[in-house]
Structures are given as structure tokens and as C-alpha cells.
Amino acid sequence: MHIGERKIERPLRWGMVGGGRTSNVGYKHRLGALRDNTAFQMVCGAFDLDYERGVDFGKNLGVDPERLYPDYKTMFAEEAKREDGIEVVDIATPNFQHYEVAKAALEAGLHVICEKPLFFEVEQGLEIQKLAEEKGKLVCVTYGFSGSQLLLQMRHMVKTGMLGTINMVDLKYTHGYGCDPTGDVKSEGQKWRVDSSKVGKAFVLGDLSTHTFYESQLATNDMKLKQVLCDRQAFVGSRYPLEDNAYVLMRYENGAVGRMWCSCVDAGTPETQVIRIVGSKASVEWHDAQPNHLLYQEQGKPAQLMIRGNDYLCDACNADESLGATHVEGLSESWANIYLKFAVAIDAKNRGDEETLKNLVYPDLEHGIDGIRWINACAKSADEGGVWVDFE
Ligand code: NAD
């Protein structure tokens, strides 16, 4: 159980690029990082493209006004001059800026926590991986739902053979908020999502399914994906050549198969992710809208509902528990769990503690690069008419 006591010697000095007042995701980063005040300390920010608004916002967060910067380049340069300068930067800007900011941050000697999807090309990911290794720094990725501890219970059940041989992986991340096309022109946060120069090769395949793909990798102990076959459409025509709906079939190296449906035009559906892993003996299923519950179905037996915070769950799952079984948890705890692991990982990296790093399960750079592979393989498959494409 984790109830707020420190896990590292002192909080890491942390700042944000993006994530300002109008941002969709900024608050989730802050609630994840700052929940217990023992892992991260917010010291600076270049929160907004609009400098005045960013400064006003940063002051309201309690950041020293001298450390509110007009852009990330000034922030990295000025912070480098201070003895108490920033150590870790969070990148919560639209996708097309992730690569340049991450590169500049590593060059400035900072650890990086970056939004998904990480970058546009796998080559960029490999270049950043090389740079991070040279600088002795980590790059972590905020697949924000992935700190839901019942995903670790799924991982445990797969690993210990409770499901038998894994045969099928059934995934879904759909909602209906993209049915109204006026949002594409009205909302700042949606405009760049449907502009291929700013979002890359895909819309919902990157925006939604990279989360669910990572969570399925977490739950299956990184079962190796071999090939994907994708069909994608823009039901709101102005989004073409990007998609607002996609179906993907998967083939794994071990013979298992899978499917993913991702969509923002699933009319009437609030945000929903489903991960179902089907083995030869039993299945397990998790919904992000019911993150406290795991459905376990053994063939020939009554179904069981496993509930968060109970002793019958595995140690890794219960280590991330903080509220106790009688109180529900949700997205806030998930973000806090991954941020705490980022802090422990960064601290271990700083101390050269490879043993801790090796055993820590969190969305790292490798999994960020896999997210790029996923988007690009799906887009290629769809654009070539729905053919099997290697996951490479
Ligand atoms: P948004 O458009 O709502 O907000 C972007 C913010 O970044 C704004 O405050 C903007 O002023 C600021 N900004 C943009 N460029 C900047 C720059 N160069 N310097 C400083 N500030 C800058 O976008 P959003 O929906 O918050 O998405 C941001 C990122 O987060 C995207 O990569 C998106 O895919 C990701 N995201 C992740 C999750 C999740 O659950 N992990 C959820 C939503 C969005």
C-alpha cells in the first residue's frame, strides 16, 4: 500500500512545457506528479504559447514568477544557470512539438516525461534513445490510464498461467465526441488533432489506441506483436486522410490473435476502453469506466468480480493501492501511480541503480517507440488497402 510516504530521498525539481490554462491534459500531469508532494516539486514552466496567459496561470499555481518563461529554449537556458535548476521536464504540448522539445531537454541534461504519441517516426525514437543513453537520462511516457493497478493483476494472471495459453486479445477505445465536426474548427485542442502537419499520420489511432495498445502490452507481459492489418475511415470527410474510426487485426509471434476498435464517432458512447485477454482456460476483462473491477471468467465456472484493494490480488497490484477497498479509485490514482514510478526510475538512474530500473514496470521510452510503430504500421496497412504489415 502507498499512503504518501516518500520513496526517494528528496522531490525532483520539475517543470512543464505546455499544459497551460486551456490545455486538456495539463491538470492530469500536475495531479499525478504533485499528489503527495514527495516525488516532484514544481519549480518552473513555459505553460502556454500565449506568454501573458502562461505567466498569469503559473502565478496562480504558486510558481515563482521569475521562473515563468516565454518558451522552452529560454527555460532550459535560464534554469541551467541556477544551482537549484530544473531536473525533469514534462512535455504536454501538441504532438508535433514532442520531438524537438525532448531533444533540447536531453541536450540540456534533463530527464524527460513526454505525452503520447511520442514522436512521428521510429527513427526519431531511436535517435532520442541514443541521446538519452549518452546523457544518462530517462524518457518516460504518460499513458495515463496505465497506472490502474488491476492491469498489473491482469499481468500477474497471464504470467502465472491462470488463463492458460493466451489466444486472443480484444481491445476497444471509442467515444462519440467527434460526431460533431464543428469542434474541429472551434476547439484549440481539436484543431491540431485533425491537421496532419501537427498530428502525424493518424488521428484516433494515435490519440486513443496508443493508450490501449500499451495497456494490453502491460497486461500480456509484452507479448510480441508480429503483424497488423488495419482499415480506417474518416466518417467526417474533412478529416481525410486522417481517420476518425479504425479497425485493426493483430497477429502475435506466439500465434495469438487480436483486434482493436478505436473511434471518436461511436455515437452516444462516453469515453470507454475495454481490454479483454482470452486464454485457453479463462478470460479476464477490464473497463476504464469501472477501473476498480476486474471480471475473471473461468470456463465452466461462475464468473468472479475481482475488486481492487483486496488481499487476494497480487503484490504488485496492492503495492499501488492507496485508498483501501471500500473507497473507489480512478484516473487520478492511475496518473499518481505512474508519476511515482517515473520518480523512482529517475532517482534510480541518477544513482546508477540498474537493479531497481530493471524491475520497475512503467511506460518507458521503449513503449513510447512501440506506440510510434503501432500508428505507422496501422496507417501503412490501411493506406495500402488493408494488407498485413510487419510490426517493426
Ligand atoms: P491542447 O491543445 O488542449 O493544449 C496544449 C497546451 O500546450 C496549451 O496550453 C498550449 O498553449 C500549450 N503549448 C503549445 N505549444 C507550446 C509551446 N511550444 N510551448 C509552451 N506551451 C505550448 O492539447 P492537449 O489536448 O492538452 O494535448 C497535449 C498533448 O497531450 C498531446 O500530445 C495529446 O496527445 C496528449 N494528451 C494525452 C492525454 C493522456 O491521457 N495521456 C490526454 C489528452 C491529451
| Cβ pair 213, 369 in contact under 8 A | no
pLDDT at 308: 96
Rounded CA-CA distance 41/61 in Å is: 12
What pLDDT, in 10s, does the model give residues 100-158? 999 999 999 999 999 999 999 999 999 999 999 999 999 999 999 999 999 999 999 99
Ligand 1 mean position to 48 CA, how many Å?
A: 9
Nearest-10 crossing angle of helices 365-383, 209-219: 120
CB of 92 within 6 A of ligand 1: the answer is yes
Rounded CA-CA distance 341/89 in Å is: 15
Rounded CA-CA distance 250/253 in Å is: 10
CB of 206 within 6 A of ligand 1: the answer is no
What pLDDT, in 10s, does the model give residues 3-18? 999 999 999 999 999 9
Alpha helices in the chain (DSSP H): 26-34, 51-61, 72-80, 98-107, 122-135, 150-159, 183-186, 188-191, 196-199, 204-207, 209-219, 315-319, 331-351, 354-359, 365-383
Sign, CA torsion 50/53/57/62: positive
Ligand 1 mean position to 257 CA, how many Å?
A: 34
pLDDT at 341: 97
Phi/psi at 111 (nearest 5 deg)? -75, 155
pLDDT at 67: 98
**Predicted confidence band of residue 263 (pLDDT cuts 50, 70, 90):** very high
pLDDT at 391 over 90: yes
Protein residue with its CA nearest to atom 7 in ligand 1: 18
The contacts of residue 346 (CB under 8 Å, 6+ apart) are 12, 87, 88, 111, 138, 140
What pLDDT, in 10s, does the model give residues 272-316? 999 999 999 999 999 999 999 999 999 999 999 999 999 999 999
What pLDDT, in 10s, does the model give residues 29-87? 999 999 999 999 999 999 999 999 999 999 999 999 999 999 999 999 999 999 999 99
pLDDT at 270 over 90: no
Mean confidence (pLDDT) of the chain = 97
Asked if the peptide bond before residue 291 counts as cis, ω within 30 degrees of 0, the response is no
| Cβ pair 139, 365 in contact under 8 A | yes
Q: What dihedral do alpha carbons 218, 222, 227, 230 form, nearest 10°?
A: 0
C-alpha cell at 13: 525539481
CB of 46 within 6 A of ligand 1: the answer is yes
pLDDT at 271 over 90: no
The contacts of residue 56 (CB under 8 Å, 6+ apart) are 21
CB of 307 within 6 A of ligand 1: the answer is no
Q: Going from the N-terminus, what domains does the chain have, and what CATH number goes with each?
A: 12-144 (3.40.50.720), 148-323+368-390 (3.30.360.10)
pLDDT at 57: 98
Ligand 1 mean position to 14 CA, how many Å?
A: 17
Rounded CA-CA distance 182/187 in Å is: 8
Region 207-230: mean pLDDT is: 98
Region 363-388: mean pLDDT is: 98
